[in-house]
Amino acid sequence: MSPSYRRCKTLGKSCSFSAAHQPTFLATRLAGLVTRILECMPQNHIQEHVDLIARHEQEFLERRTATERLVDSVASFAGSFLFVLLHLLFFAVWMSVNTVHFAGVRHFDPPPFSLLGMVVSAEALLLASFILMRQTRMAKRGDERDHLMLQILMLTEKEITAVLAMNREIAKDAGLHGVADKPEVKELSRHTSIDDVAQSIRESMPEGEEF
């Protein structure tokens, strides 16, 4: 509160600020309000957000069933370089045993290695099933994240719209009608219809693409 304002209030006089003083007075009050808000915010709010996301991901992993944990383990191992090396070693040993003559060792799968092809085909089928199960679960998790992000964005849009509306009122009280009545400011301070935006996106997308 400025000294002149306190002095007028103490003396009981009707003190009015000129149009030139009003913007400065309101800007000072607004700056003080923003400063107090920033002081109330936690200094480690970024770390809190990181910890919150990490906790949600950890809870998602802990909710997995025994089957889902097995699927994740198999799929993760199948995507590792160790898995490739073991298969190369296995194929080399298999082919060597069935092509090179070792004492006391019978060729149980001579070329063209039909039995090996059957084993590899069965393994590929099982691995594909494990990977598809994992991808299905991860896609479901991705949908949950998308829904959460959509809710946050919708809430953010409402908050920003409310802040813009309040800023317009403050600008009008400060005598800044030119700023408050700008067409783009008035448009942004209105509520955004999510249905209208979605319909506009559908209409603007090329044919054959789904939204």
> For residue range 124-181, what is the model confidence (pLDDT) as tens digits?
999 999 999 999 988 988 888 888 888 888 888 888 888 888 888 888 888 777 777 7
Which residue do the tokens 């944990």 mark? Answer: 69
- 56-103 pLDDT per residue, tens: 888 888 888 899 899 999 999 998 999 999 999 999 999 999 888 877
Q: Alpha-carbon distance 55 to 154, whole Å?
A: 23
Q: Alpha-carbon distance 171 to 12, whole Å?
A: 28
Task: Output the pLDDT for position 24.
Answer: 56
Task: Output the pLDDT for position 5.
Answer: 42
| Residue 164 near residue 184 (C-beta atoms within 8 A) | no
Confidence check: pLDDT of 38 > 80: no
Task: Output the pLDDT for position 92.
Answer: 94
